[in-house]
Chains A and B, each alone.
Chain A
Protein backbone atom coordinates (compact mmCIF):
# COMPACT_ATOMS: atom_id res chain seq x y z
CA UNK A 1 0.00 0.00 0.00
CA UNK A 2 1.02 3.58 -0.37
CA UNK A 3 -0.09 7.18 0.06
CA UNK A 4 0.21 10.40 -1.90
CA UNK A 5 2.47 12.84 -0.11
CA UNK A 6 4.64 15.88 -0.71
CA UNK A 7 8.37 15.45 -1.03
CA UNK A 8 9.98 17.89 1.38
CA UNK A 9 13.37 19.46 0.58
CA UNK A 10 15.13 17.49 3.32
CA UNK A 11 13.93 14.12 2.01
CA UNK A 12 11.05 13.72 4.45
CA UNK A 13 7.48 13.37 3.19
CA UNK A 14 4.58 15.62 4.14
CA UNK A 15 0.88 14.84 4.06
CA UNK A 16 0.15 18.57 3.87
CA UNK A 17 2.14 21.34 2.22
CA UNK A 18 1.87 24.46 4.36
CA UNK A 19 4.13 27.38 5.06
CA UNK A 20 4.36 27.46 8.83
CA UNK A 21 3.99 30.89 10.41
CA UNK A 22 5.60 30.23 13.78
CA UNK A 23 5.51 32.69 16.65
CA UNK A 24 8.68 32.67 18.76
CA UNK A 25 7.00 34.27 21.79
CA UNK A 26 3.52 34.91 23.12
CA UNK A 27 3.90 38.64 22.35
CA UNK A 28 4.18 37.90 18.61
CA UNK A 29 1.00 35.81 18.42
CA UNK A 30 -1.24 38.52 16.96
CA UNK A 31 1.01 39.25 13.99
CA UNK A 32 1.52 35.50 13.47
CA UNK A 33 -2.22 35.01 13.38
CA UNK A 34 -2.81 37.99 11.06
CA UNK A 35 -0.28 36.75 8.49
CA UNK A 36 -1.72 33.23 8.62
CA UNK A 37 -5.21 34.62 7.94
CA UNK A 38 -4.01 37.02 5.23
CA UNK A 39 -2.04 34.52 3.15
CA UNK A 40 -3.63 31.29 1.93
CA UNK A 41 -1.61 28.12 2.31
CA UNK A 42 -0.18 29.13 5.69
CA UNK A 43 -0.60 27.45 9.07
CA UNK A 44 0.02 29.42 12.28
CA UNK A 45 1.70 28.11 15.41
CA UNK A 46 0.73 30.24 18.40
CA UNK A 47 1.77 29.61 22.03
CA UNK A 48 2.14 31.32 25.39
CA UNK A 49 5.87 30.78 26.01
CA UNK A 50 9.22 32.13 24.85
CA UNK A 51 10.07 34.70 27.52
CA UNK A 52 10.27 35.28 31.28
CA UNK A 53 11.21 31.69 32.03
CA UNK A 54 14.13 29.79 33.53
CA UNK A 55 16.83 28.30 31.28
CA UNK A 56 15.47 24.72 31.13
CA UNK A 57 12.17 26.07 29.80
CA UNK A 58 13.84 28.50 27.39
CA UNK A 59 15.77 25.49 26.05
CA UNK A 60 12.62 23.36 25.88
CA UNK A 61 10.69 26.05 23.98
CA UNK A 62 13.62 26.62 21.59
CA UNK A 63 13.96 22.89 20.95
CA UNK A 64 10.22 22.50 20.41
CA UNK A 65 9.97 25.40 17.95
CA UNK A 66 12.94 24.09 15.94
CA UNK A 67 11.44 20.60 15.85
CA UNK A 68 8.04 21.96 14.78
CA UNK A 69 9.81 23.75 11.92
CA UNK A 70 11.25 20.40 10.86
CA UNK A 71 7.79 18.81 10.60
CA UNK A 72 7.42 17.38 7.08
CA UNK A 73 3.99 19.01 6.65
CA UNK A 74 5.72 22.40 6.45
CA UNK A 75 7.40 23.20 3.14
CA UNK A 76 8.92 26.32 4.65
CA UNK A 77 8.78 28.44 7.78
CA UNK A 78 8.33 32.13 8.54
CA UNK A 79 9.28 32.95 12.14
CA UNK A 80 7.56 35.91 13.77
CA UNK A 81 9.56 37.41 16.65
CA UNK A 82 8.93 40.43 18.85
CA UNK A 83 12.67 41.06 19.20
CA UNK A 84 13.37 41.22 22.94
CA UNK A 85 12.22 37.72 23.98
CA UNK A 86 14.32 35.19 25.90
CA UNK A 87 14.35 32.63 23.10
CA UNK A 88 16.61 33.65 20.22
CA UNK A 89 14.95 33.88 16.82
CA UNK A 90 18.28 33.46 14.99
CA UNK A 91 19.03 30.26 16.90
CA UNK A 92 15.57 28.90 16.02
CA UNK A 93 15.95 29.96 12.37
CA UNK A 94 19.37 28.29 12.13
CA UNK A 95 18.01 25.13 13.76
CA UNK A 96 15.16 24.88 11.25
CA UNK A 97 17.41 25.79 8.30
CA UNK A 98 19.51 22.68 9.06
CA UNK A 99 16.53 20.72 7.72
CA UNK A 100 17.24 22.22 4.29
CA UNK A 101 13.91 24.05 4.20
CA UNK A 102 13.52 27.74 3.40
CA UNK A 103 13.28 29.78 6.61
CA UNK A 104 12.48 33.49 6.87
CA UNK A 105 12.02 35.71 9.90
CA UNK A 106 10.28 38.94 10.71
CA UNK A 107 11.09 40.89 13.89
CA UNK A 108 8.26 43.20 14.94
CA UNK A 109 10.42 45.70 16.86
CA UNK A 110 12.89 46.00 13.99
CA UNK A 111 10.48 46.54 11.10
CA UNK A 112 8.43 49.31 12.69
CA UNK A 113 5.75 47.49 14.64
CA UNK A 114 2.86 45.12 14.09
CA UNK A 115 1.33 46.62 10.95
CA UNK A 116 4.67 46.79 9.15
CA UNK A 117 5.40 43.23 10.31
CA UNK A 118 2.05 42.11 8.90
CA UNK A 119 2.82 43.75 5.57
CA UNK A 120 6.39 42.49 5.22
CA UNK A 121 5.59 39.10 6.70
CA UNK A 122 2.66 38.62 4.34
CA UNK A 123 4.83 39.38 1.32
CA UNK A 124 7.44 36.86 2.50
CA UNK A 125 4.75 34.25 3.17
CA UNK A 126 3.13 34.87 -0.23
CA UNK A 127 6.41 34.20 -1.99
CA UNK A 128 7.04 31.05 0.06
CA UNK A 129 3.54 29.71 -0.65
CA UNK A 130 4.06 30.36 -4.37
CA UNK A 131 7.20 28.20 -4.29
CA UNK A 132 5.64 25.48 -2.14
CA UNK A 133 2.61 25.25 -4.41
CA UNK A 134 4.83 23.87 -7.19
CA UNK A 135 5.38 20.66 -5.21
CA UNK A 136 3.03 17.90 -6.46
CA UNK A 137 1.71 14.93 -4.52
CA UNK A 138 3.58 11.74 -5.37
CA UNK A 139 3.24 8.13 -4.30
CA UNK A 140 5.27 7.04 -1.26
CA UNK A 141 5.43 3.77 0.69
CA UNK A 142 3.65 3.53 4.04
CA UNK A 143 7.05 3.28 5.72
CA UNK A 144 7.44 7.05 5.21
CA UNK A 145 4.53 7.70 7.59
CA UNK A 146 4.99 8.94 11.14
CA UNK A 147 1.70 8.43 12.96
CA UNK A 148 0.99 10.14 16.27
CA UNK A 149 -1.60 8.64 18.61
CA UNK A 150 -3.48 10.48 21.32
CA UNK A 151 -6.53 9.96 23.47
CA UNK A 152 -8.53 12.73 25.08
CA UNK A 153 -11.86 13.39 26.76
CA UNK A 154 -11.73 9.68 27.51
CA UNK A 155 -14.52 7.58 28.91
CA UNK A 156 -14.89 3.84 29.38
CA UNK A 157 -15.37 3.24 25.66
CA UNK A 158 -11.88 4.65 25.00
CA UNK A 159 -10.21 1.73 26.74
CA UNK A 160 -12.66 -0.81 25.33
CA UNK A 161 -12.76 0.12 21.65
CA UNK A 162 -11.20 3.30 20.23
CA UNK A 163 -7.80 3.01 21.95
CA UNK A 164 -7.34 -0.68 21.06
CA UNK A 165 -8.38 0.13 17.46
CA UNK A 166 -5.82 2.96 17.34
CA UNK A 167 -3.27 0.47 18.71
CA UNK A 168 -4.17 -2.05 16.00
CA UNK A 169 -3.63 0.66 13.35
CA UNK A 170 -0.21 1.42 14.91
CA UNK A 171 0.74 -2.24 14.78
CA UNK A 172 -0.19 -2.38 11.08
CA UNK A 173 1.95 0.67 10.27
CA UNK A 174 4.95 -0.67 12.19
CA UNK A 175 4.62 -4.00 10.35
CA UNK A 176 4.97 -1.99 7.12
CA UNK A 177 8.14 -0.30 8.34
CA UNK A 178 6.57 2.96 9.51
CA UNK A 179 6.81 4.92 12.73
CA UNK A 180 4.34 5.55 15.56
CA UNK A 181 4.65 7.94 18.47
CA UNK A 182 2.67 8.01 21.67
CA UNK A 183 3.14 9.48 25.14
CA UNK A 184 0.97 11.11 27.81
CA UNK A 185 3.25 9.95 30.60
CA UNK A 186 0.70 10.73 33.31
CA UNK A 187 -1.45 8.04 31.77
CA UNK A 188 1.25 5.41 32.19
CA UNK A 189 0.77 5.49 35.99
CA UNK A 190 -0.45 2.05 37.02
CA UNK A 191 0.37 0.56 33.62
CA UNK A 192 4.12 1.16 33.41
CA UNK A 193 4.89 -2.50 34.19
CA UNK A 194 3.10 -3.48 30.96
CA UNK A 195 5.06 -0.93 28.90
CA UNK A 196 8.44 -1.87 30.37
CA UNK A 197 7.88 -5.48 29.27
CA UNK A 198 7.76 -4.16 25.71
CA UNK A 199 10.88 -1.99 25.99
CA UNK A 200 13.45 -2.85 23.30
CA UNK A 201 16.30 -2.73 25.86
CA UNK A 202 16.63 -2.56 29.67
CA UNK A 203 17.79 1.06 29.26
CA UNK A 204 14.53 1.94 27.52
CA UNK A 205 12.58 0.22 30.33
CA UNK A 206 14.48 2.35 32.86
CA UNK A 207 13.69 5.50 30.91
CA UNK A 208 9.98 4.64 30.99
CA UNK A 209 10.09 4.24 34.78
CA UNK A 210 12.10 7.47 35.11
CA UNK A 211 9.64 9.62 33.15
CA UNK A 212 6.66 8.22 35.06
CA UNK A 213 8.37 8.84 38.41
CA UNK A 214 9.24 12.39 37.36
CA UNK A 215 5.69 13.13 36.18
CA UNK A 216 4.16 11.65 39.35
CA UNK A 217 6.48 13.78 41.53
CA UNK A 218 5.32 16.90 39.69
CA UNK A 219 1.69 15.91 40.28
CA UNK A 220 2.10 15.11 43.97
CA UNK A 221 4.30 18.13 44.75
CA UNK A 222 1.16 20.21 45.20
CA UNK A 223 0.08 18.06 48.15
CA UNK A 224 -3.26 16.92 46.77
CA UNK A 225 -4.85 13.78 45.39
CA UNK A 226 -4.58 14.35 41.64
CA UNK A 227 -7.98 12.71 41.00
CA UNK A 228 -10.18 15.35 39.38
CA UNK A 229 -7.16 16.60 37.41
CA UNK A 230 -6.27 13.05 36.33
CA UNK A 231 -8.61 11.37 35.74
CA UNK A 232 -10.49 14.53 34.84
CA UNK A 233 -14.00 15.39 36.00
CA UNK A 234 -15.28 14.31 32.59
CA UNK A 235 -13.35 11.02 32.72
CA UNK A 236 -14.95 10.28 36.11
CA UNK A 237 -18.42 11.13 34.79
CA UNK A 238 -17.66 8.74 31.93
CA UNK A 239 -17.02 5.89 34.36
CA UNK A 240 -13.25 6.01 34.91
CA UNK A 241 -12.55 5.75 38.64
CA UNK A 242 -8.77 6.07 39.00
CA UNK A 243 -5.67 7.04 37.01
CA UNK A 244 -4.70 3.35 36.99
CA UNK A 245 -7.94 2.44 35.20
CA UNK A 246 -7.51 5.32 32.75
CA UNK A 247 -3.87 4.36 32.10
CA UNK A 248 -4.63 0.69 31.45
CA UNK A 249 -7.10 1.77 28.78
CA UNK A 250 -4.89 4.58 27.49
CA UNK A 251 -1.78 2.51 26.75
CA UNK A 252 -3.80 0.32 24.37
CA UNK A 253 -3.58 3.10 21.78
CA UNK A 254 0.16 2.49 21.39
CA UNK A 255 -0.45 -1.05 20.14
CA UNK A 256 1.64 -4.06 21.06
CA UNK A 257 4.99 -3.57 19.31
CA UNK A 258 8.39 -3.14 21.01
CA UNK A 259 9.12 0.37 22.32
CA UNK A 260 12.35 1.48 20.63
CA UNK A 261 13.17 4.53 22.71
CA UNK A 262 11.91 7.34 24.94
CA UNK A 263 12.41 11.02 24.04
CA UNK A 264 12.16 14.32 25.89
CA UNK A 265 9.44 16.85 25.10
CA UNK A 266 10.17 18.62 21.81
CA UNK A 267 12.72 16.07 20.57
CA UNK A 268 12.55 14.34 17.18
CA UNK A 269 12.72 10.53 17.42
CA UNK A 270 15.31 8.93 15.15
CA UNK A 271 14.68 5.69 13.27
CA UNK A 272 11.57 3.61 12.63
CA UNK A 273 9.18 1.77 14.91
CA UNK A 274 7.31 2.73 18.08
CA UNK A 275 8.53 5.59 20.28
CA UNK A 276 7.43 7.38 23.44
CA UNK A 277 7.69 11.14 23.92
CA UNK A 278 7.51 12.35 27.54
CA UNK A 279 4.54 14.69 27.84
CA UNK A 280 1.61 15.39 30.09
CA UNK A 281 -1.77 14.12 28.89
CA UNK A 282 -3.42 17.44 28.11
CA UNK A 283 -4.28 17.99 24.46
CA UNK A 284 -2.62 21.32 23.52
CA UNK A 285 0.77 20.32 24.97
CA UNK A 286 0.70 16.77 23.69
CA UNK A 287 -0.39 17.55 20.13
CA UNK A 288 2.51 20.03 19.93
CA UNK A 289 4.89 17.28 21.08
CA UNK A 290 3.59 15.01 18.30
CA UNK A 291 4.09 17.80 15.78
CA UNK A 292 7.62 18.37 17.07
CA UNK A 293 8.29 14.63 16.87
CA UNK A 294 7.51 14.72 13.16
CA UNK A 295 4.01 13.22 13.02
CA UNK A 296 2.35 13.86 9.64
CA UNK A 297 -0.98 12.30 10.71
CA UNK A 298 -2.53 11.88 14.17
CA UNK A 299 -5.17 9.44 15.37
CA UNK A 300 -7.06 10.96 18.31
CA UNK A 301 -9.27 8.57 20.25
CA UNK A 302 -12.03 10.16 22.30
CA UNK A 303 -14.98 9.05 24.40
CA UNK A 304 -16.75 12.26 25.30
CA UNK A 305 -15.75 14.18 22.15
CA UNK A 306 -12.56 16.29 22.09
CA UNK A 307 -12.68 18.77 19.19
CA UNK A 308 -8.99 19.72 18.75
CA UNK A 309 -7.05 19.43 15.57
CA UNK A 310 -3.59 20.86 14.99
CA UNK A 311 -2.70 23.76 12.68
CA UNK A 312 -0.66 21.77 10.17
CA UNK A 313 -1.36 18.12 10.95
CA UNK A 314 -4.58 16.26 10.11
CA UNK A 315 -6.08 14.81 13.30
CA UNK A 316 -8.46 11.88 12.82
CA UNK A 317 -11.07 11.72 15.59
CA UNK A 318 -12.25 8.24 16.47
CA UNK A 319 -14.77 7.22 19.11
CA UNK A 320 -16.34 4.05 20.42
CA UNK A 321 -19.12 5.95 22.17
CA UNK A 322 -22.30 5.81 20.01
CA UNK A 323 -23.94 8.73 21.82
CA UNK A 324 -20.90 10.96 21.24
CA UNK A 325 -20.76 9.95 17.59
CA UNK A 326 -24.43 10.77 17.10
CA UNK A 327 -24.22 14.05 19.03
CA UNK A 328 -20.93 15.39 17.61
CA UNK A 329 -20.67 14.51 13.90
CA UNK A 330 -19.09 17.94 13.51
CA UNK A 331 -15.98 16.70 15.35
CA UNK A 332 -15.81 12.95 14.78
CA UNK A 333 -14.36 11.18 11.75
CA UNK A 334 -14.64 7.48 12.61
CA UNK A 335 -16.95 5.37 14.80
CA UNK A 336 -15.95 1.98 16.15
CA UNK A 337 -18.72 -0.24 17.38
CA UNK A 338 -18.16 -2.59 20.28
CA UNK A 339 -19.11 -6.04 19.01
CA UNK A 340 -19.71 -9.17 21.05
CA UNK A 341 -16.44 -10.73 19.93
CA UNK A 342 -14.23 -7.82 20.86
CA UNK A 343 -10.91 -9.25 19.55
CA UNK A 344 -11.92 -9.73 15.91
CA UNK A 345 -13.89 -6.50 15.77
CA UNK A 346 -10.88 -4.53 17.06
CA UNK A 347 -8.67 -6.04 14.36
CA UNK A 348 -11.24 -5.06 11.70
CA UNK A 349 -11.59 -1.58 13.21
CA UNK A 350 -7.81 -1.20 13.24
CA UNK A 351 -7.66 -2.08 9.54
CA UNK A 352 -10.44 0.41 8.72
CA UNK A 353 -8.70 3.08 10.76
CA UNK A 354 -5.43 2.34 8.97
CA UNK A 355 -7.14 2.84 5.60
CA UNK A 356 -8.49 6.16 6.90
CA UNK A 357 -4.93 7.18 7.88
CA UNK A 358 -3.75 6.49 4.29
CA UNK A 359 -6.72 8.40 2.82
CA UNK A 360 -6.14 11.39 5.11
CA UNK A 361 -2.38 11.25 4.48
CA UNK A 362 -3.20 11.46 0.76
CA UNK A 363 -5.30 14.59 1.17
CA UNK A 364 -8.72 13.67 2.55
CA UNK A 365 -9.70 16.43 4.97
CA UNK A 366 -10.55 15.66 8.60
CA UNK A 367 -13.48 17.26 10.41
CA UNK A 368 -11.12 19.42 12.49
CA UNK A 369 -9.32 20.66 9.37
CA UNK A 370 -12.56 21.53 7.59
CA UNK A 371 -13.89 23.66 10.44
CA UNK A 372 -10.40 25.01 11.24
CA UNK A 373 -10.46 23.88 14.88
CA UNK A 374 -7.16 23.61 16.73
CA UNK A 375 -5.29 26.89 16.39
CA UNK A 376 -4.40 27.30 20.07
CA UNK A 377 -1.84 24.68 21.05
CA UNK A 378 0.63 25.04 23.92
CA UNK A 379 4.23 24.20 24.63
CA UNK A 380 4.74 22.22 27.85
CA UNK A 381 7.11 23.83 30.33
CA UNK A 382 8.16 22.66 33.79
CA UNK A 383 9.24 25.81 35.64
CA UNK A 384 7.56 29.04 36.67
CA UNK A 385 6.87 32.10 34.60
CA UNK A 386 9.17 34.71 36.17
Chain B
Protein backbone atom coordinates (compact mmCIF):
# COMPACT_ATOMS: atom_id res chain seq x y z
CA UNK B 1 0.00 0.00 0.00
CA UNK B 2 1.19 3.48 -0.77
CA UNK B 3 2.25 5.81 2.01
CA UNK B 4 -0.37 8.35 3.02
CA UNK B 5 2.14 10.72 4.61
CA UNK B 6 5.88 11.08 4.89
CA UNK B 7 8.37 12.41 7.45
CA UNK B 8 11.47 13.61 5.62
CA UNK B 9 13.96 13.84 8.48
CA UNK B 10 14.07 12.38 12.00
CA UNK B 11 14.41 15.94 13.42
CA UNK B 12 11.10 17.02 11.82
CA UNK B 13 8.07 17.93 13.92
CA UNK B 14 5.73 17.90 10.91
CA UNK B 15 4.75 15.27 8.34
CA UNK B 16 3.57 15.83 4.75
CA UNK B 17 0.30 14.29 3.55
CA UNK B 18 0.59 12.36 0.28
CA UNK B 19 -3.20 11.99 -0.06
CA UNK B 20 -6.23 13.95 1.13
CA UNK B 21 -6.54 12.98 4.80
CA UNK B 22 -9.56 13.27 7.11
CA UNK B 23 -9.99 14.32 10.73
CA UNK B 24 -9.79 11.19 12.88
CA UNK B 25 -7.49 9.35 10.45
CA UNK B 26 -4.76 7.49 12.32
CA UNK B 27 -1.44 7.50 10.48
CA UNK B 28 1.53 5.25 11.05
CA UNK B 29 4.66 7.16 10.18
CA UNK B 30 8.25 6.03 9.95
CA UNK B 31 10.45 8.49 11.81
CA UNK B 32 14.16 7.63 11.92
CA UNK B 33 13.50 3.88 11.63
CA UNK B 34 10.74 3.82 14.26
CA UNK B 35 7.02 3.87 13.75
CA UNK B 36 5.02 6.72 15.23
CA UNK B 37 1.23 6.97 15.30
CA UNK B 38 -0.59 10.29 14.87
CA UNK B 39 -4.34 10.94 14.92
CA UNK B 40 -5.45 13.91 12.84
CA UNK B 41 -7.53 16.59 14.55
CA UNK B 42 -8.64 18.14 11.22
CA UNK B 43 -8.72 17.35 7.51
CA UNK B 44 -5.33 17.79 5.80
CA UNK B 45 -5.18 18.14 1.99
CA UNK B 46 -2.60 16.24 -0.04
CA UNK B 47 0.75 18.01 -0.05
CA UNK B 48 0.00 19.88 3.16
CA UNK B 49 1.46 19.33 6.62
CA UNK B 50 0.37 18.16 10.07
CA UNK B 51 2.12 18.16 13.42
CA UNK B 52 3.84 15.07 14.82
CA UNK B 53 4.22 16.48 18.31
CA UNK B 54 3.17 19.48 20.38
CA UNK B 55 4.79 22.65 19.00
CA UNK B 56 4.73 25.54 21.46
CA UNK B 57 3.88 29.03 20.31
CA UNK B 58 6.99 30.95 19.08
CA UNK B 59 8.98 27.76 18.61
CA UNK B 60 10.39 26.43 15.34
CA UNK B 61 8.54 24.26 12.86
CA UNK B 62 10.96 21.76 11.34
CA UNK B 63 10.85 19.97 7.95
CA UNK B 64 13.80 18.55 5.95
CA UNK B 65 15.56 18.72 9.36
CA UNK B 66 15.60 22.53 9.03
CA UNK B 67 13.56 25.42 10.41
CA UNK B 68 10.79 26.38 7.97
CA UNK B 69 9.09 28.94 10.20
CA UNK B 70 7.79 29.82 13.65
CA UNK B 71 4.51 28.68 15.24
CA UNK B 72 2.17 31.58 16.04
CA UNK B 73 0.08 29.51 18.45
CA UNK B 74 0.38 26.20 20.28
CA UNK B 75 0.08 23.40 17.71
CA UNK B 76 -1.15 20.05 19.04
CA UNK B 77 -0.13 16.64 17.59
CA UNK B 78 -2.26 15.88 14.53
CA UNK B 79 -3.12 19.55 13.89
CA UNK B 80 -3.04 20.97 10.38
CA UNK B 81 0.09 23.15 10.00
CA UNK B 82 0.00 25.94 7.45
CA UNK B 83 -0.16 29.73 7.06
CA UNK B 84 -2.83 30.06 9.78
CA UNK B 85 -0.40 28.95 12.50
CA UNK B 86 3.12 29.37 11.03
CA UNK B 87 4.95 32.53 9.94
CA UNK B 88 8.16 32.97 8.00
CA UNK B 89 11.18 34.74 9.47
CA UNK B 90 12.42 35.87 6.03
CA UNK B 91 11.40 38.60 3.61
CA UNK B 92 9.39 40.27 6.39
CA UNK B 93 9.23 43.88 5.22
CA UNK B 94 6.17 44.28 7.45
CA UNK B 95 8.29 43.71 10.57
CA UNK B 96 11.04 46.06 9.37
CA UNK B 97 8.49 48.77 8.73
CA UNK B 98 7.31 48.38 12.35
CA UNK B 99 10.86 49.01 13.62
CA UNK B 100 11.19 52.41 11.94
Taking beta carbons and an 8 Å cutoff, which residues of A are in contact with B?
155-157, 159-160, 186, 189-191, 194, 216, 219-227, 230, 236, 238-239, 241-245, 248-249, 303, 321, 338, 340, 342
Contacts and interface: CB of A to CB of B under 8 A. Distances in A.
B52 interface: no
Contact of A220 (B6, B49, B68, B92): B92
Contacts of A342: 6
Nearest to A227: B88
A225 B83 contact: no
B48 A156 contact: yes
Given A239-B16, A241-B49, A340-B3, A220 B69 contact: no
Given A190-B68, A239-B46, 12 more contacts: A156-B48, A190-B66, A191-B66, A220-B91, A224-B97, A225-B91, A226-B92, A227-B88, A239-B82, A241-B83, A242-B90, A321-B47
B90 A243 contact: yes
Instruction: Classify chain B: how many residues form its interface, as a range.
Output: 20 to 34
Contacts of B17: 239
Interface of B: 2-3, 6, 8, 16-18, 45-49, 61, 63-64, 66-69, 81-83, 86-97
Contacts of A156: 16, 47-48
Contact of B68 (A224, A226, A245): A245
B55 to A, nearest CB: 13
A221 B91 CA distance: 9
B83 A236 contact: yes
Contacts of B63: 245, 248
A162 B100 CA distance: 42
Nearest to A189: B90
Contacts of B83: 227, 236, 241
A259 to B, nearest CB: 18
A311 B93 CA distance: 36
A236 B84 CA distance: 11
B3 A224 contact: no
6 contacts: A222-B93, A223-B96, A225-B87, A225-B95, A241-B88, A242-B90
A155 B47 contact: yes
Contacts of A189: 90-91
A242 B88 contact: yes
A238 B47 contact: yes
A227 B81 CA distance: 16
A53 to B, nearest CB: 24
Nearest to A229: B91
Most chain A beta-carbon neighbours within 10 Å: one of B16, B48, B64? B64
Given A216-B91, A248-B64, A340 B69 contact: no
A226 B83 CA distance: 13
A201 B46 CA distance: 40
